[in-house]
Amino acid sequence: MNEITLAPLPYADDALAPTVSAKTISFHYGKHHAGYVKALNGLIAGTKYEGMSLDAIVVASRDAGDTAVFNNAAQAWNHDFYWNSLAPAGKGGEPSAGLLAAVNASFGSLDACKAALVDAAVKRFGSGWAWLVARDGRLAVESTANADTPAGRTGVKPLLVVDVWEHAYYLDWQNARASYAKAVVDGHLDWASASRRFA
């Protein structure tokens, strides 16, 4: 079987501390993310999804209404994207000229864009995600619930995401989701990666 694999973290497990501690990473990446990948492989064995890429499984299972496959595939995809949306403090770079122009056109300023992302993260009821996406030539902030994802949707390009499932922050921040979201957005977004995705 051609299995979906757990992608390696792009940094050491303590590289985001103290915002995201090594202990949180050990549970979040090592248990939750790994668990979605393991469950997905069990679900797709011997099915039409076996041998597909993770991206293809997300789209195909969403279109087919295969909820269990979609939930695990989307969560595996979302988590991989989340780890690659973050960088150690001071290592995330700045938006490229093109991305910054789009940010200014859509939000008025980079600070306003960051504030919108934090607001979406804070206001997401229950578990989910806050995304910066490119859509129809403009940027937008949106949030999705549970495993839902903009990945694979026509005309939408995810650029960055903040995870607001409790397992992303509760060990470090308890119920202070707003403080976690602000710390991530202000100090750990990987704008260099977002710029490459936007290009």
**pLDDT at position 137, please?**
80
d(CA 125, CA 41) in angstroms, rounded, equals: 29
Q: Are 188 and 91 in contact (CB under 8 A)?
A: no
Stated length of the chain: 199
pTM: 0.95
Parallel, antiparallel, or unpaired for β 138-145 and 156-163?
Answer: unpaired
Q: Residue 99: which of 185, 188, 190, 195 has the closest Cα?
A: 195
Which residue type sits at 67? T
d(CA 29, CA 7) in angstroms, rounded, equals: 10
The tens place of each residue's pLDDT in the chain, 199 residues long, gives 579 999 999 999 999 999 999 999 999 999 999 999 999 999 999 999 999 999 999 999 999 999 999 999 999 999 999 999 999 999 999 999 999 999 999 999 999 999 999 999 999 999 999 999 999 889 999 999 999 999 999 999 999 999 999 999 999 999 999 999 999 999 999 999 999 999 8
**pLDDT at position 1, please?**
57
Q: Domains along the chain?
A: 22-83 (1.10.287.990), 97-198 (3.55.40.20)
**pLDDT at position 173, please?**
96
